[in-house]
Amino acid sequence: MASANKRKKQPTPSPRVYCGELHFTDADEQIEVSRLIVREDRIAFELLTEWGLGGHWRFCDVAKLLPNGAFLSDDVVGTEMIGKTGGHKSAPVHFRFEIEKQSDLRIQITGILFLRGEANRFAGKLKKFTPRNCS
């Protein structure tokens, strides 16, 4: 990840929607990204993870653009997924996303999930969302 002083690539003006998997760098686990909607000043996301919390947890929120070019979403509470119904709520987590590269077809993301004082890094490439390749 680049230094805090280096500004990351800014998203394009029109919204773009991506999906796919991101991977934690220090664990053999992944984040399933149902939707990542990138706009100039924010990223809306819906994702499913099991890392660090046990079980499967769904998180949805909007990360806002910071002055350094990263996007931050504070105090996101996940819902435990049990079958097709929601269960318990998670402790608040924070998501930080950085766009490394972006095109119409793909986006390369790095980021950090902050949970209970621990920083868990993740990274990966997502593909353009279509119902066929992101169901």
Tell me the domains of the chain and their CATH numbers: 16-128 (2.40.128.20)
Taking the C-alpha atoms of residue 97 and residue 120, their distance in angstroms, rounded to an integer, is 12
The runs of H, that is alpha helices, within 1-134 are none
Between 59 and 91, residue with greater pLDDT = 59
User: What is the chain's Cα-based Rg?
Assistant: 14
d(C-alpha 17, C-alpha 127), whole Å: 8
Please state the rounded mean pLDDT for residues 111-124.
Answer: 92
pLDDT band of residue 131 (cuts 50, 70, 90) is confident
pLDDT for 45 equals 96
Q: How far apart are CA 31 and CA 47, in angstroms?
A: 7
Residue 2's pLDDT band, with cuts at 50, 70 and 90, is: very low
38-62: average pLDDT:
85
- Between residues 93 and 12, which one has the greater pLDDT? 93
What DSSP state is assigned to residue 1?
-
- Tell me what pLDDT residue 97 has: 97
Residue 44: is it exposed, middle or buried by C-beta count within 10 angstroms (0-12/13-18/19+)? middle
